[in-house]
A and B are shown apart, each in its own frame.
Chain A
Amino acid sequence: MSQGTIRGLLKRDARADRVVPPTGYTAHLTLFVSGAMAFLAVFALALSLASGRLADRWGTELAGAATLRINAPAEQLAAQTEAALTVLGQTPGVASARALTREEQAALLSPWFGSDLPLDTLPIPQLIEIIEGDPGLDAAGLRLRLGAEVPGAVLDDHTRWREPLVEAAMSLRRLGWISILLIGGATAAMITLAANASLAANAQIIEVLRLVGARDRFIARAFVRRFTYRAFFGAVVGVLLGMTSVLLLPEASDEGGFLTGLGFQGIGWLLPVLIPFLGAAVAFLATWTAASRKLKELS
C-alpha cells in the first residue's frame, strides 16, 4: 500500500463519509475497546519501563561491589578485620575497601530488629564493603588468600542473588512488552470483528454504491476512515485516563520498594502519546484487511 493510498484513505471527506450511517453498536464497541486497550497499554508500558529501570539499577549498582563478612570471636574480630583490609589493599581489582561502622550495620539490621538494637551485646559479624575497580577482582583467588590469612572471612560478590533479581526484573520487562503486543493483537481482532459486522450490516449500502459505479477503494475508505478515527479518539481517552491513574500512584520510595516505582520518568512520559497513533494504525490495517476481504466476498 503506497503512501498516497494511505493518505487518500485517511483524508477527511465529510460527504463521502456520510455514505455509511454513523450509528450502530460497532461505533460504541470500537470506541470502548480502543479506550480500554489504550488504558491497559499505559500500565503495561509503565510496568515495562519500571522493570527496565530496576534491572539496570540492580545490575549497575551491585555489579561493581562485593561484601566481605568476618565471622570471628569478639576478641579476634578487630585483628581479622585489619588483616582482611590489608589483604584487600594488596589485591588487584579492588578500588577501595572499608569496614562498615557500628551505626551503618545497625541501620542495615533496623528493618528487622528495630532502631534500638543493642549491637554491642550481640555477636554481629563485621562487614567490609569492597568497591571493585576496572578490571574487576579475581574472586576465586581472593577467596583462597583470605582462607589462608583471615580464616573467618567470607567473600560475597553478590552474584548469587544479583543474577536472579536482575533476571526477574528483565522477565517483568519482557512481560510488559508481551502484554503490549497482546493488547495490540486483541485490539486488531476486536476491530476486525466490529468492521466485519459493520460491513455485513451495510451490505445493501455497498450494493447501492456499486450500482452507481463506486470502486472498492471508495467503499473501503468510508469504513476505514471511520474505524481509524474512532480507534484514535477512543485511545486518546484511554491514554488520558491511564496516565492520570499512573500519576495518582504513590511516588517511588525505599519503603515501598518496586511497587511505588511503577510509572514514567523523564522522556518516558512521552511514550504513551504514541499509543493512540499505534491504535489508529492497528485499526487502519484491521479495517482495511476486513473491508478488502468482505468486498471481495460481496462481489
Chain B
Amino acid sequence: MIACCIGLMIADSQFNLFSSARVYLNSIVSPIQYVADAPQKIFSSFSENIMTRQALVDRNQQLEKDNLHLKADRLLLGQLQSENKQLRQLLNSERQFKYKRMITEVMSLRSDPFTHQLLIDKGALNGVYLGQPVINEQGVVGQVSQVGSTTSRVVLIVDATHGIPVRVQRNDVIAVVHGSGAWDQLKVPFVQSNADIKEGDLLVTSGLGGRFPAGYPVAKISRFDYQEGELYATVTATPVADLDRSRYLLLLWNDDPLADADLTLDSPEEFDAPAE
C-alpha cells in the first residue's frame, strides 16, 4: 500500500501521468464539491430573495448611476480605441484588444493548505483550458491549473509557485512578480537597486510570457527597499484584486498569445538585413 502511494505521488508530481486522467477523476468527485457548495448558494439566493423593496430601489439607482458613468467613459473609449488603432497602423504593429470572455462563479477558496487555489464552476465542457488567464473587475486573479469536466482549479497569483511577467505602468520598466504564499503579498525579485520603481506604482501585465494578455493591472508596489551592499532591491507588492473576496470571475480566451508580445519593433526588412 505504501509503495503504491509513493508510486502514485511520484507519478503525479514528477511525470504528470494523471494530467489527462485527472479530468475524469475530478468529475467523479465533483458531486461532493457541489454538496459542500450548496449551503452557501442556498444562503446567498435566500438573502437575495428577502431583500426589502427599499434596498432594491437603492441598489437599482446606484447601478443605473454606475452604468451612466461607465457608458460615458465608453464613449471616450471607442474614440481612443480607433485613434490607437490608427496610430498602431502607422507604426506597423497590430495589437488585439478583444478577447472572448466568460463569467464564472467561485465555488470554494479552500484547498490544499500549502497552495493558494480556488475552484470555479466552469470546466472542459465550457472550453476552459490549462493555463487560461482569470481576472476579475479589479485585476488579474490567476490562471487555470487543473481542468475537470464541469469544474476547474485556478492557481492564484499569490501562490508561491506562480510568477507573472509585468511592467510598471508609469515607465514600462519590466519585472516578474512572484507569489509569496501570503494572501496579500507579492514579491518582485531581481530588481536593480537603481531601478525607477516607487511605492504606489501600478504593475500591469506585459504579455511577454504569452499566457496573460497585456495591459491588465496586477499589483501595486507597497515597499521598495535597498540595503547597502545587497545585489538586488527588496520589492514587495500587494495584488489589486481582492483575491479572497470575489465571488464572480472572468475567464479570458487569449487566442493568439504572441500577438501581444510586440516582438517586432523594427520592420521585418531591417530585421533580416544582417543575415544577408
Chain A complexes with chain B: no
Where the two chains meet, the residues of A that have a C-beta atom closer than 8 Å to any C-beta of B are: none
